[in-house]
Amino acid sequence: MIDEAVTDFEAVHGGRPTGVWAAPGRVNLIGEHTDYNDGFVLPVALPHTTRVTARRREDGRLRLYSAQGEGTITDLPLDALAPGAVASWAGYPAGVFWALAEAGHAVGGADLYIDSDVPAGAGLSSSAALECATAAALNDLYGLGLSAPELALTAQRAENAFVGVPCGAMDQMASACCTSGAALFLDTRTMAQRHVPLDLEAVGLRLLVIDTRVKHDLGDGAYAALRAGCERAARLLGLPALRDLAPTELAAALDRLPGELGPLVRHVVTENRRVIETVDHLARGEITALGPILTAGHASLREDYRVSCPETDAAVEAAVAAGALGARMTGGGFGGSVIALVETASLATVSEAVRTAFRSAGFASPVVFTAVPSAGARRVA
Ligand code: GLA
């Protein structure tokens, strides 16, 4: 894979690259739509990565080529980069250059060859993987000395301000900071993080990922509207963020809020609680206890937050009915992927039950795979 990346770079850009950097996609175990409410999340990195093969340029140009793109080089002068100026996938790496420069880092041009096996539009953070692999490459090429969380926050800034998606920090922090064999317990207020060991195979379990193949798009306004709703609710309650509302104060808060905001607040408060409960169970080695928490999380996303869709609901329902310990959609929603916690012995049964449910509902056939908690962004050559 690495040799191929070098050969492909040479074919497109000519000459040798300096190195190859990789950053993974992620699934989130629990803690959905909490990251822009200063709350808690618990993602794990996927084995799937985006690789950036790169070399510096001294002429202030950024030349980008993606193996998944249109077969042409996107050539951008760095001094012309501005928010909204670069459409398509190229906006993500270009945004990282822009965000680094804007933060005062001495970053110059580069040739990039990009290749990825993170499914795009599947709620598995292919954009964060691309941003973080680019950030890791530039960090080394230009000797910036930034830490993994600093790279993640730069990548988030690129997505917020350059691409224009008001996402929280979870995906970039997961892609930059996860370690293999662990979930990342992250407090998105302080960015304090803890790596929580998660060896599912040792206890006879697997994490099944079901990509429903319903493309999700966080840029279409629905995500921004949800975020704005949460911020409005916090303002009305006189709180810095919904993270500051304790579960015991929820009922009284709901009485004070306009009807349309209540369910959003209930989801965020109960979801933060579910993250803490999950981490507590993991600390006690009670992994099977996660199942019902995952399924309760999905019900909250379906009923209160309303970001599920018929395909994600069907996948959760079929997986649980076929014996999964628990299942939920993961990521922003409006399509995307579902995770299920499954006993190794029932992996085939659960996978087949989901495929059958999709077939009989007339849905496109899902892509189903198992995932082990993998490493965050790193130099691979
Ligand atoms: C997307 C965003 C994240 C987070 C999730 C929902 O993946 O990029 O910041 O808000 O949705 O949990």
pLDDT at 1 over 90: no
The answer, yes or no, to whether any atom of ligand 1 lies below 6 A from the CB of 338, is: no
pLDDT at 324 over 70: yes
Q: What is the pLDDT of residue 327?
A: 99
- The CA distance from 91 to 109, in Å, is 15
Average pLDDT over residues 172-194: 98
pLDDT > 70 in the chain, percent: 99
Q: List, in sequence order, the alpha helices (H) in 257-367.
A: 262-283, 290-300, 310-321, 347-361
Average pLDDT over residues 28-41: 98
Q: How far is the CA of 280 from the centre of ligand 1 (A)?
A: 23
The answer, yes or no, to whether any atom of ligand 1 lies below 6 A from the CB of 171, is: yes
pLDDT band at 219 (very low <50, low <70, confident <90, very high): low
pLDDT tens digits for range 330-355 = 999 999 999 999 999 999 999 999 99
Q: Which residue has the tokens 């009284």?
A: 252
The answer, yes or no, to whether any atom of ligand 1 lies below 6 A from the CB of 39, is: no
pLDDT band at 216 (very low <50, low <70, confident <90, very high): confident
Contacts of 9 (CB under 8 A, 6+ apart): 16, 17, 53, 55, 111, 113
0.85 exceeded by pTM: yes
Contacts of 255 (CB under 8 A, 6+ apart): none
Give the lowest-confidence range in 178-192, 209-223, 250-264. 209-223
Question: For 228-235, which contacts have Cβ atoms below 8 Å and span 24 or more sequence positions?
Answer: 229/260, 229/261, 229/264, 230/33, 230/36, 230/37, 230/264, 230/265, 230/268, 231/36, 232/261, 233/257, 233/261, 233/264, 233/265, 234/37
Nearest residue by C-alpha to atom 5 in ligand 1: 332
pLDDT band at 218 (very low <50, low <70, confident <90, very high): low
The answer, yes or no, to whether any atom of ligand 1 lies below 6 A from the CB of 33, is: yes
Query: Phi-psi bin for 66: left (phi > 0), alpha (psi -120 to 50), beta?
Result: beta
Average pLDDT over residues 54-76: 97
Average pLDDT over residues 215-226: 83
Q: How far is the CA of 172 from the centre of ligand 1 (A)?
A: 10
Q: What is the pLDDT of residue 198?
A: 98
Q: How far is the CA of 297 from the centre of ligand 1 (A)?
A: 15
pLDDT at 236 over 80: yes
pLDDT at 253 over 70: yes
Q: How far is the CA of 77 from the centre of ligand 1 (A)?
A: 31
The answer, yes or no, to whether any atom of ligand 1 lies below 6 A from the CB of 168, is: yes
Mutation probe of ligand 1 site: the residue of 29, 127, 153, 171 with most atoms within 8 A of C-beta: 171
CB 81 within 8 A of CB 97: yes
